[in-house]
Structure 1
């Protein structure tokens, strides 16, 4: 008899945590061995409990190891052989691209049926890629819009500066005064950055900034791609 696939589930929302676990239990051969609510708990679990696959929320603030892409980067460096299924509400092109660059081969959108979490675990446990339907649709749209190009999402130094200040809570007017640029210039740089990132609404920009570590600059250094090094 084949050994069960041991799964750790991490999410800061109890309802999602419970729902994900229940969804996984419907799949024969999958066993939830531990749960975590933030990164401190998660790293402790991974250091003490053997598991085969990690299912983790992307936005999970509060722990000492951060969340979003900085946390995924930490996990990839310290647990390089552990397959990761990322849960998220975000679908923007830059985020999906960064996750792929970090070695994440499975992303499940929380708006899709929770059964996709189990399907994702089954796939990554066999070294196969799996994207839930809405994530796959976003990737397909990205490829179509790119027209076959595979260029890096690259923000200029000034665009990144404007995004950082905007997500910190400053208005366009306040940013223009601080940087000594016109309001029109600041607005254009912000809009250009959003277009490059595949983001249409300010709320998505805040979510992207959180996931990419831009809301916690004191503990992470950022490069010109808006990524964390």
Structure 2
């Protein structure tokens, strides 16, 4: 006899109404899933969590400007509500972002390009305290963690060497993310698009981070990276 699945209470945060309604409709079709809250702003979500905690939280990675999002939001929720399993659902689907989200406390990462039916599998997986990634992303993340033996040159930097710089305690979380992206070869424009921020905002965060590190140019940043 098959054991019935326990009901999982779910909250959802995404700044696009069409996404919120689409995912809510999909989840509502599953008898063991109960959507108890949908939000388009992080502040509204955080206020709701003070009253009621879900089992699963579906969280978009990059929200509208001025919103608390990304690694910072994941860390805040993980610290305050450790029993909540966070599944990031985002179009920003690359190994660097996925690794950042998992390190911050997320239990899985689901790309918005994936088959919607696979979202049910993702939810069921993290509800069992297991990490969810699709097979291709799991391979990329594993490879990124196994590149410590690669020599450092102007185009290839190991996660450990990058981490020594980006984990500097004087840097804010967003400044750490921006520097990490810069060191992984992304342009300011690409980073702005990735985090749905303006180029001006990303440029300021980059300059603020470099100032805190005592450097003033990309050349000095790479020298600092090589010197460890």
TM-score normalised by the chain length of structure 2: 0.66
Q: Indicate conservation of the 8 Å contact 1:24/1:115, yes or no.
A: no
Alignment RMSD (CA, Å):
3.7
> Number of residue pairs matched?
188
3-state DSSP class of the match of 2:105? Answer: coil
Pairwise CA distance, 1:20: 1.4
**Cα distance change of structure 1 residues 25 and 136 upon mapping to structure 2, 3 Å threshold:** farther
Q: CA deviation at 1:108?
A: 0.4
1:34 paired with 2:37, answer: yes
Structure 2's unaligned 5+ residue stretches are: 151-157, 214-228
Could you tell me how far 1:145 is from its partner in structure 2? 5.5
Asked if structure 1 preserves the Cα contact closer than 8 Å seen for 2:62 and 2:195, the reply is: no
Partner of 1:72: 74
Greater displacement, 129-138 / 142-151: 142-151
Cα distance change on mapping 1:25 and 1:201 into 2, 3 Å? farther
Cα 1:150–1:67 shift into 2, 3 Å: closer
Say if 2:191 is the partner of 1:205: yes
Asked which structure has the greater RCO (Cα within 8 Å, sep 6+), the reply is 1
Alignment partner, residue 97 of structure 1: 99
Which residue among 16, 19, 43 is the counterpart of 1:16? 19
Which runs of 5 or more structure 1 residues have no equivalent in the other structure?
168-189, 225-229
What displacement does 1:15 show?
Answer: 1.3
Give how far 1:60 is off.
1.5
1:35 to partner: Cα distance: 0.3
Q: Does structure 1 conserve the Cα–Cα contact (< 8 Å) formed by 2:95 and 2:137?
A: no
Q: How does 1:104-115 map to 2 (within 5 A)?
A: 104-115=106-117
* CA positional deviation for 1:200: 4.8
In 1, Cα distance between equivalents of 2:149 and 2:194 = 24
CA positional deviation for 1:154: 3.3
Structure 2 residue aligned with 1:83 = 85
Contact 2:11 2:38 in 1 (8 A): yes
User: Is 1:154 aligned to residue 156 of structure 2?
Assistant: no
**TM-score (structure 1 length as normaliser):** 0.66
Q: CA deviation at 1:80?
A: 1.6
